[in-house]
Structure 1
């Protein structure tokens, strides 16, 4: 199930209302046969009014809410059928603590059926109307630089509001650099701009930034917020997402190449089903679908049907918010309360994702894991991996045998070393013999058995060349057990002819594994052959080895010379140790040359054709409460024709991708260009960037929004031209200064008479500090979770491996791993995106904790030290150092007030590295550093 803030309507609709409906309404709703305790729980007012015992809840006061005490079983026990799961109780506690948001205004009337959603009426809402392309009808006003300014200027003129003048040259460049690249402008760029602050030079700098690596990284990070990107699962089982970084890098490549956004949508929804001409295209198509996999999941849920439905819900909710600007999750349980989205539309989409494989297999018992797909690679790479795996397997087998030989030598089992020993691996077999190492205590790598089958058709022949004519005692080795054959025929070919004996493999004559067949005459001119058969046997026949012992061997065995035996044992041990060490060295050298693993993506696939199907409505969102089956399809209100897919291609994801990227779709382009406007201008034209529905805000300039969306689609869904148009507008260059008259007329700046003052993203604040030190590495980090195993939760201060790359690493912030449950306190304090949520617009808080972090974080103090060292090294006198530190930290030269303040701080005896470190630290913690004017 999707994660939502506890104060949101979606949290109530997904976590609270379904529980009330299922467990409480039977006795506490208006249509109940008998209302228990005069308490109604089917509306907000009813819960606050309460029943015989007073209000059911006290918003913000968990411990004072009788409902909580009841479901905890601390007062009355509700529901009486059984205590709710702890996770559900926690949901109610979080909901009440966050203020108990409840959109149910009035209780439903028991006798009046609920009105059905009118789709045609819903299509009259502004967001579901087709895009309308309108050229501005007024003459350009003074300072206008194109249609954007004309649209804004028309409203400003109508309202009688005067826009601010252009901001200073220094501030405009800083604004542009952070907006387009997330990084401060270099000193060289500052100087080049200040030498020529013309529009022509501005446009050249814009183009340079749009072509830079920094641009791709910064705008990829914006979309990662929407994609709820993380490098681990979080939740109950914090499994490592070893392959998520490939999706991050796909985004960087996409924004660098200005990949059309409609193509990105198609790749992220159904890339595995798209055609391709090259391995690179196939790679990106597959990796892009990681978008569907990134949400946190309750992997240890034992009810796998419920888990599947929860994952589908998270995917539908993400697609709804990310591309449509709609909250769809609540339609899992009931028709949407505000927007024209019936439950059947939800399950039309659910059929698509239920026909898609997201989770596959288990990482351990009951713990699901996700689907993985092989990525293209070269045949040379595949061959290298095959050869490495075969060589490793062989060496490990040899090492295991060598370790056993060493153990035998240390235990003194010298009878194995005497005489001539023929192992089963050297024998000639007929019929089927199964290799085994199940019963410990064997010669060589293992032993074989006849699987107690094919009786009379299976033999194994051991053949040896004896050095001298004479008598030899013949022994056979096998592991004895009660399920072994009791009469195994054994044929011995001697110089006197062939002899046959039988042995009972349920026991051994000589521990641990030998049985004597007898003493026989052999000639050096012909082989000594021993053959075991399973003819007429009544159990498993085991064959391990055969040993031929001469009279001299037997004498040594029965009358060992202590000195000779000790020397021989030492020699055997040393030889075994030397052999084992050599094998281990070979394995170490082989491991050092290990080829990279075959690349994989965490990516979905379609289910097998017989398992692809439409979904039934799950009444009230309950897994086993099925209603009508709904054909796979889309939202009716956004579809001009039939919303059901006539002939779905596989799961229907490719059809969904086509529907989302239809140029006539009313929402997708609007939602995306609104996100872009928000990142550049501080607020969206629709300020609720993830909600274009009834509960969202209306656009301040609907004609401008449609103009931008239409131009975006007509121009091939390319981002860079859209960005260029916005940052080249006069509106983008306005100062953020306060103006009393304009503020009185438009206090929320809905007319854009000034630029919104914004806080830099957490990543930009950190990267700007590293840029000031001169140590910021522009080299991407790949595979950041390589050192982690299946879980990251064991990452702690006592471990020596698998530690999470910390914020002190001098790379761009986009390349730091994002591990759910182990987020950097510094980044969290500065309002980095919560990876558990889809974050279209980051919250901006101003709390004491931020100042404390900026002043006391050891990493920030170290960066201030390094910056101070750079200033002391690169500039010789006080004025030059002061200029340099302001250019590095604030991207401007110091004002007269700054110089005066500095002179009072830097006395003659305080122009030391420590003093400069304190000055830099103060700038880092200052408002101007982390805000964008």
Structure 2
């Protein structure tokens, strides 16, 4: 049994690589690798192999948020105590549930969320300048458990000593209340004055530098060119740079760093992959999926909406229009195709199967979901908390909630739609978008059908008339004959052949013509149906002509209507301007993008910032309310929000501004002391470093292996995944049938997303299941993540493909080629030595065990055992490179 390798300088296992201590031989590894008939890997590779084969370079990274001895987030240094920054978050987390906006849960007639008024804190619980006379201070510091706040039975953590001192300083300084920062319109702040005049003149950098200097810190040095090009290429396209791109940028950067950097940023933003990458964040936010969710989870077709989002980012659609189209695209006087498609935003909610819930209940659930999605996506507020009662932390009443509800309560749709009866995953209302050619052909067929149907109608009338005449004549002849012999006539007796021969011949001819015409009509309808099936159709929002009344639902129950409410916006925000007596969704959209709206621009720029740094200036990007985190750099947030609006809501300009900043270009390394003082890098004293999202890891592996398809748009695809997963969650026995060919190598944004069983390659690495609006993903480290990256059949196949490409290189250049292809960096001497020793070891082993090499190369045509052993060894090398920390981390 081989010994576990000793880790050299810079070689250590990360948390997600530290697994079983069991050691496996190469034989155990090779035995567990098989190549199936369809190039799918059937047997897993066990993670501890990596412990045996090599401890490959793993760069030390930023740890998870560290805590102090009290189990609280290590606080950043603060100068002056601010109510918004320091005090309001403390009171909100401990006090507002019982002493906040909700009158139903308010205790002792006291509101700590506001200073004055009948129940305001000043004069009741707080005496400015005096802690002795402030009941708040006495209650949070007393040793008497029966008197201490928050009470023990609330299960809330008592105020720590440090927090108590902040509150004390605030009271003694006058207990100054401030309007809540997020509900006041952003104002452009003054340009910061900094000591270091040379670092940068860019506004972002000046605000960051002022904060650093106030805390006795200075920015990190700029990252090296290879790190920079890899970082920004991932952040702007979701993909890694190629070896040629890395080398070209490194050379251009050596000559003129600023020019090279700006040219690179401009080039990346102009690539179509930019839209694919940016759209992925939005699809998380609006819970995009390919199925209904809930119960039977039938297929639902929202492909057009996904592709529109990609196009919108690539075409740099103004963000205000991006919002208008989604909120009210169907309400434009003559909606364009994009406006219709964008209104499908309102159709992304989960759908309950018919028979599972009453139509009325289903309708209410759908509308509630729309309100929640709008609140999260555009307001950055947890408006849904006011569904059953007034919000306990933010000034959103239940009536405010249902006033918003009214805007989305008027869809022209059948609440009893049966998902089983939908066609191609589409549920009314839908809009058709035939191409010019399709429309011409449909018009031609319609004309022929109209003509043929008219002919058939006339022919059928002639046949019926002739048949009646023939029957009447036969009846008359029979009557005459019977009268002649005194016998009662039989009206149903047919005419004798010799009597009706001529008439029968004419009738038969007409019936033959009728049969031919009916056959032609059937053929024309089949042709039309075939074209109609190929016509693009999308699910849209569509208003009923008669406005449905809206009521406050008591306790949020669908069958308990209370007070009638009109469409409106929350009262603590700027008033809504109505274009008619009944406000429309277009009025609401215009309210969102009005200059006085304090939330829309802030929420948007914060999310774009988050996509670069892994965390927003407001960490809780889904919640800008009292329970959310205050901005780390409030003036910078306002600067970005104001400039974003003034730019014409230019998304690409905002993205470029962030990417061009010196703040973004900092190296991500730091001393242990720096990481401990600011583990989440909230002060921005270093560059961003965090694990890539699941889609970026998968797409990177496919791209560097040479397998990634660049095809854009179109139906969602199904890459291979373990058999039986869908069957386990299906009530109809539905099974997952993977695609083949190019489809399985499409970018992850095109992967079919079943809400009941999303792609495990994605969810294991923290992708959401898309049943709710997610503004930020969690990042966890689990053993299953390491096992996935090592054993996933798709990734092993990619490793073999990269190995084949590597073997085409000159022998002395192979290691550098593979390393640089995967990491964008060059291996140092220690890394080279470990990989070379591993390669020798693996090659020798596969030469000694040709059956295992044959298994790895089963579907390939290789002439010699030596070639197979060499490919098998390099496959393991490339698979190991794909499991490096640097490969799955943005540095």
TM-score w.r.t. the length of structure 2 is 0.69
Q: Are 1:461 and 2:394 counterparts?
A: no
Which stretches in structure 2 are left out of the alignment for 5+ residues?
1-93, 118-176, 720-725, 845-868
Are 1:254 and 2:212 counterparts? no
SS state at 2:602 partner: helix
Mapping for residues 260-409 of structure 1, pairs under 5 Å? 260-276=318-334, 282-300=336-354, 301-357=356-412, 362-363=417-418, 370-378=427-435, 380-385=437-442
SS at match of 1:601: strand
Aligned-pair CA distance for 1:490: 6.2
1:890 paired with 2:823, answer: yes
- Higher radius of gyration, 1 or 2: 1
Match of 2:557 in 1: 622
Residues 785-841 of structure 1 show CA distances to partners (whole Å, capped at 9, x for unaligned) of 899xxxx98999999998354897111111222122232211111122321121111
When the two chains are superposed, the root-mean-square deviation of aligned CA atoms in Å is 4.3
CA distances 1:453-510 after superposition (whole Å, capped 9, x unpaired):
xxxxxx95265xxxxxxxxxxxx8xxxxxxxxxxx99635699999998769xxxxxx
- 1:596 to partner: Cα distance: 5.2
- How many residue pairs get matched? 686
Cα distance, 1:351–1:927 mapped onto 2, change above 3 Å: same
Deviation at 1:319, TM superposition (A): 0.5
- Check 1:373–1:798 CA distance in 2 against 1; reply closer, same or farther (3 A cut): closer
Distance 1:119 1:375 in 2: 56
Residue 595 of structure 1 deviates from its aligned partner by 6.2
- Equivalence for 1:597: 534
Asked if 1:755 is matched to 2:687, the reply is: yes
Q: Which one has the bigger strand percentage?
A: 1
Q: Does the 8 Å CA contact 2:329/2:340 hold for their aligned counterparts?
A: yes
The 5 Å alignment of 1:465-484 reads none
Match of 1:9 in 2: none
Counterpart of 1:374 in 2: which secondary structure?
strand
CA distance, structure 1, for counterparts of residue 398 and residue 551 of structure 2: 11
User: After superposition, what is the alpha-carbon deviation per residue over 1:670-712, rounded to whole angstroms, capped at 9, x for unaligned?
Assistant: 0010001111012110000000000000001100000000000
Q: 1:384 to 1:713 in 2, by over 3 A?
A: same
Residue 241 of structure 1: aligned partner? 300
5 Å-filtered alignment, 1:421-570, equals: 425=460, 428-429=463-464, 460-461=467-468, 491-492=475-476, 516-517=493-494, 519=496, 521-522=498-499, 527=503
Deviation at 1:896, TM superposition (A): 1.6
Name the counterpart of 1:728: 660
The Cα shift of 1:185 comes to 0.5
Cα pair distance change 1:497/1:208, threshold 3 Å: farther
Residue 701 of structure 1 corresponds to which residue in structure 2? 633
**1:268 offset after TM fit, Å?**
0.2
- Does 2:737 match 1:803? yes
- Determine if contact 1:119/1:340 at 8 Å carries over to the other structure: no
1:834 maps to 2:792: no
Corresponding residue to 1:652 among 581, 584, 595: 584
State the alpha-carbon separation in 1 of the partners of residues 480 and 784 from structure 2: 97
Correspondence list, 1:89-108, <5 A: none
Aligned to 2:338, the other structure's residue is in SS state: helix
CA contact (8 A) 1:395 1:587 kept: no
Maintained 8 Å contact 2:431/2:539: no
- Find the partner of 1:691 among 616, 623, 626: 623
Q: Tell me, what secondary structure is at the counterpart of 1:250?
A: helix
- Measure how far apart 1:757 and its partner are: 1.5
Rate the CA distance shift 1:648–1:739 in 2: closer, same or farther, 3 A.
Answer: farther
> C-alpha offsets along residues 355-392 of structure 1, whole Å, 9 cap, x if unaligned?
23355552369999843222343565235246668999
Alpha carbons 1:700, 1:751 under 8 Å: kept:
yes
Q: Is the 2:223–2:666 contact (alpha carbons within 8 Å) kept by the matching residues of 1?
A: yes
Q: Would you say the 8 A contact 1:805–1:816 is kept in 2?
A: no
1:867 aligns with 2:867: no
Rounded to whole Å, the distance in 2 between the matches of 1:841 and 1:334 is: 27
1:587–1:674 CA distance, 2 compared to 1 (3 A):
same
SS in 1 for 2:534: coil
Q: Given the alignment, which residue of 143, 148, 151 partners 2:199?
A: 143
- SS of 1:636 mapped into structure 2: coil
Of Structure 1 and Structure 2, which has the larger fraction of its residues in helix?
2
Deviation at 1:119, TM superposition (A): 13
Q: The residue matched to 1:628 in structure 2 has which SS?
A: strand
Provide the rounded CA distance (Å) in 2 between the counterparts of 1:424 and 1:395.
10
**Contact 1:923–1:929 (Cα < 8 Å) also in 2:** yes
Q: Is 2:242 the partner of 1:186?
A: yes
Counterparts of 2:693 and 2:834 in 1: how far apart (Å)?
A: 29
What is aligned with 1:902? Answer: 835
Compute the TM-score of the two structures, normalised by the length of structure 1: 0.66
Is 2:217 the counterpart of 1:161? yes
Once the two structures are superposed, residues 242-297 of structure 1 have per-residue CA deviations (whole angstroms, 9 ceiling, x without a partner) of 2x010111011111111101000000000011245xxxx71000000111111212
Give deviations 1:864-906, integer Å, cap 9, x for gaps: 1111011112x1213x111110122111121222111122112
The answer as to whether partners of 2:478 and 2:489 remain within 8 angstroms in 1 is no
User: SS of the residue aligned with 1:638?
Assistant: coil
Deviation string, structure 1 residues 26-53 (Cα, Å, up to 9, x no partner): xxxxxxxxxxxxxxxxxxxxxxxxxxxx
Contact 1:734/1:755 (<8 A) preserved: yes
- Hey, what's the Cα distance between the residues in 1 that align with 2:833 and 2:678? 37
- Is there any run of 5+ residues in structure 1 with no aligned partner, and where? 1-100, 397-422, 431-458, 464-475, 477-487, 505-514, 532-543, 548-575
Q: Distance in 2 between matches of 1:923 and 1:751?
A: 33
